[in-house]
Chains A and B, each alone.
Chain A
Amino acid sequence: MLMEVKNQIKVMILSFKYAVMREMLNKVTFLSNIIFMILNNSFFIIQWVVLFSLRENVGGYTFNQVLMLWAIASGTFGFAHFFFKKAYSLSDTITNGKLDAYLVQPKNVLISCITSDVSPSALGDLIYGYIVIFLSGITISKFILYTFFVISGGIIMVDIAIILGSLSFYISKSDMIAETGNNFMIYFATYPDGIFKGIVKILLFTIIPIGITTYIPVWVLTKFNLFYLLGVIAFTICITIFAFVIFYKGLKRYSSSNLMVAKI
């Protein structure tokens, strides 16, 4: 079992290395994707600077907390899309029979599939997250906690993408549903949770778990709370198991395809 995990990680690293090498073939595009994403994100912070010059807090958040919110939102998005880009095209992979190549390999199909590509612009998001968390004032413990929440939040985002992508096993052309669902995870992530009330707030801590990926991390970074931290860990484990179960249940319905496919 341990050997199997070790070998899977070895293949994951190799796959990741090759995917990065592919993106770096065109150095200018690779670097400009990263830089422009950092610049693009920076413009949003300017809006918040203007807003906070008019009032002291928004939705119960101070400017420093908004910086943390952006750092977490950007970091989790960057982590999920950079390392697990293919989770976001799982619908297409399933519908067009592209899982075949992974199914004939003696490795975990889902992990091999979602780690086979990277998004350079998402690396820009990940770097931006670290820049902003430094701007919000950094300590070693805050840095470690932030990194932990980027990973846990990123994994939750990937899990949501897997669950939504796996719908393609059951519903044809469900890529739109998956896209909408994944966009929900971004839309709400950059606004303070104080502005949401009632049913929306419940949704944000359950079906669209931005509360777990972003809001709770901001609370813990502001004031450490072990209970919240353990809650995030438990939720991450549960949703990861759920995502794997949904995918593997669906895999039994996989119908492949004879489309001409190239691994470009």
Chain B
Amino acid sequence: MKVIEVKNLSKSFKVKIKEKGFKGSLKSIIHPKYKIIKAVNNISFDVEEGEMIAFIGPNGAGKSTTIKMLTGILYRNEGEIKVLNLDPSKDRKKLAYKIGTVFGQKEQLWMHLTPMDNFKFFAAIYDIPEKEAEKRIEELSNLFEMESFINTPVRNLSLGQRIRSEIVASLIHNPKILFLDEPTIGLDPVVKENIRKLIKKMNKEYNTTIFLTSHDVLDIEKLCKRVIIVNNGRIVMDDTMNNLKYHYLNKKIVEVKSKEKIDFNDEDGITILKEKETNLKLEIDTRKKNLSDVLKLIDPENIIDINISNTPLEQIISEIYKDNKVEKLKK
């Protein structure tokens, strides 16, 4: 069942143009000039129930604008949106009962209250009867391992505990879709990993659809099975994580430390990235040359150390951002 349907969605913002300097400021008062910036430009996609989808792109790509249109915060200019069969602009309140949102950059909790009091407040917002709310809070605090700090004021919590509280607050009404806008921003790697585990657990337990935006590649890699990459307001790639890896992870990095210098020049499919005395860093295009063929070229007696790795996903994604030409990378 489709829970999100987006067709030809566009959103523009009118921005004032100002020439530089004081003269420019005066001019812009007398003759203001504007330009239209298309933050989201004719995008279409669907999301199935229970999917964990990463919606990623560089800053200013249109991720947050899209998420805000999906949640009813912003009105669209063109196109159609159906979230759980509701139009977010027209049925904002109805939709709010069915979705949860966590904006990593914006706190929704009352800082002077404990998470418990905050959860009770959110339960009232979603019209959940007190007894039902208490049961739900207990269930979620167990799932998110919050027992040790549920009665500590939010202002005294660590950032990781705070984000966990934010997520629980947005789950209090058992939403069918959870929108996470950079939920792990500013967290240390251990806490990030913990949050990821909990999100995964929640998706498994309640079949909650997760719509995630993040700049952290590990968030995407570890959580999501499908990736939509946006740049300049357009979708540049919509594919499964497996396909992304299959199509784009066709290069291997081989680092060799040898006793004597090895010569790989003129070998098709091998690019020397770095060479320093007997240390070599190679990039192997596995479509042109098998990894085993490359290894055969090296005398095992000559090897001191060898390391084989994939091109980091981060690098691939940043190349997709930069080039905006998915086809080029596929070739």
* A-to-B contact residues, CB < 8 Å: 7, 10-11, 14-15, 18, 21-22, 25, 99-101, 103-107, 172, 252-256, 258-264
Interchain CB contact under 8 A, B107 and A263: yes
Give the complex CA separation of A22 and B209 in angstroms.
Answer: 35
User: Distance (Å) between the CB of A106 and the closest chain B CB?
Assistant: 4
Q: A169 CA to B75 CA in the complex, in Å?
A: 13
Query: Contact at A260–B96, with CB atoms within 8 Å?
Result: no
Could you say which residues of chain A place their CB within 8 Å of the CB of B126?
106
Q: Tell me if B125 and A103 are in contact (CB < 8 A).
A: no
- Other-chain contact of A263, B96, B110, B117 (Cβ < 8 Å): B110
Interface flags, B50-84, vs A, CB<8A=1, else 0: 00000000000000100010011111000000000
Complex A-B, nearest 8 residue pairs according to Cβ-Cβ distance, in ascending order: A106-B96, A262-B107, A106-B93, A103-B73, A104-B101, A22-B112, A261-B106, A252-B75
CA distance A263 to B166 in the complex (A): 12
CA distance A10 to B126 in the complex (A): 11
B149 at interface by CB-CB < 8 Å: no
Give Cα A14–Cα B121 distance, bound, in whole angstroms: 7
B125, A106: Cβ atoms closer than 8 Å:
yes
Asked if B147 CB lies within 8 Å of chain A CBs, one says: no
Residues of A within 8 A of B97 (CB): 106
Whether B68 contacts A261 by the Cβ 8 Å rule is no
In chain B, positions 74-133 with a C-beta closer than 8 Å to chain A are: 74-75, 92-94, 96-97, 99, 101, 103, 105-113, 117, 121, 124-127
- How close is B180's CB to chain A, nearest CB, in angstroms? 13
Contact A100 B124 (CB under 8 A): no
The residues of A that contact B45 with a CB separation of less than 8 Å are: none
- What is the size category of the interface that chain B forms with chain A? 20 to 34
Cross-chain pairs A/B with CB under 8 angstroms, 29 sampled: A7-B124, A7-B127, A10-B124, A11-B124, A11-B125, A14-B124, A18-B113, A21-B113, A100-B68, A100-B106, A101-B108, A103-B71, A103-B72, A103-B73, A103-B92, A104-B71, A104-B73, A104-B99, A106-B93, A106-B96, A106-B97, A107-B125, A252-B75, A253-B75, A254-B75, A255-B13, A262-B106, A262-B111, A263-B111
Residues of B within 8 A of A99 (CB): 73
Contacts A11-B125, A100-B103, A172-B16 known; list 10 others, CB within 8 Å: A21-B113, A103-B92, A104-B72, A105-B96, A106-B94, A256-B68, A258-B64, A261-B105, A262-B106, A263-B110
Complexed CA–CA distance, A22 and B110 (Å)? 9
Distance to closest chain B CB from A130 (angstroms): 29
CB-based nearest A residue for B39: A255
Q: Roughly how many angstroms separate A254 CA and B117 CA in the complex, as a whole number?
A: 31
> In the complex, what distance in Å separates the CA atom of A160 from the CA atom of B111?
30
- Asked if residues B96 and A104 are in contact (CB atoms below 8 Å), the reply is yes
CB neighbours of B71 from chain A (8 A):
103-104
**B106, B112, B127: which contacts A25 (Cβ < 8 A)?**
B112
Chain A residue numbers with a CB within 8 Å of B106 are: 100-101, 260-262
**A260 contacts across to B, CB distance below 8 A:** 105-106
Interface positions, chain B 238-268, Cβ under 8 Å from A, are none
A99 to B71, CA, bound (A): 13
Instruction: Give the shortest distance, in Å, between A120 (CB) and chain B (any CB).
Output: 14
A263's nearest neighbour on chain B, judged by CB, is B107
* Selected contact of B73 from candidates A11, A18, A106, A256, CB within 8 Å: A256
* B125 contacts across to A, CB distance below 8 A: 11, 105-107
Find A18's partner among B92, B101, B121 (CB 8 Å cutoff): B121
Name the residue of chain B whose CB is nearest to the CB of A252. B75
| Closest A residue to B181 using CB positions | A258
CA distance A252 to B16 in the complex (A): 19
CA distance A104 to B110 in the complex (A): 16
Is B117 a contact partner of A18 (Cβ separation < 8 A)? yes
For A253, the chain B residues whose CB sits under 8 A away are 75
Task: Tell whether, in the assembled complex, residue B74 and residue A256 are in contact, meaning their CB atoms are under 8 Å apart.
Answer: yes
Tell me the bound Cα distance from A15 to B122 in angstroms: 10
A226 shortest CB reach to chain B, Å: 39
Shortest Cβ gap from B211 to chain A (Å) = 13
Q: Which residues of A contact B68 (CB under 8 A)?
A: 100, 256
A21 and B73 alpha carbons, distance in the complex (Å): 29
In whole angstroms, what is the CA distance A103 to B72 when docked?
7
Among B99, B113, B124, max chain A CB count under 10 A is at: B124
Q: How far is the CA of A99 from the CA of B97 in the complex (A)?
A: 18
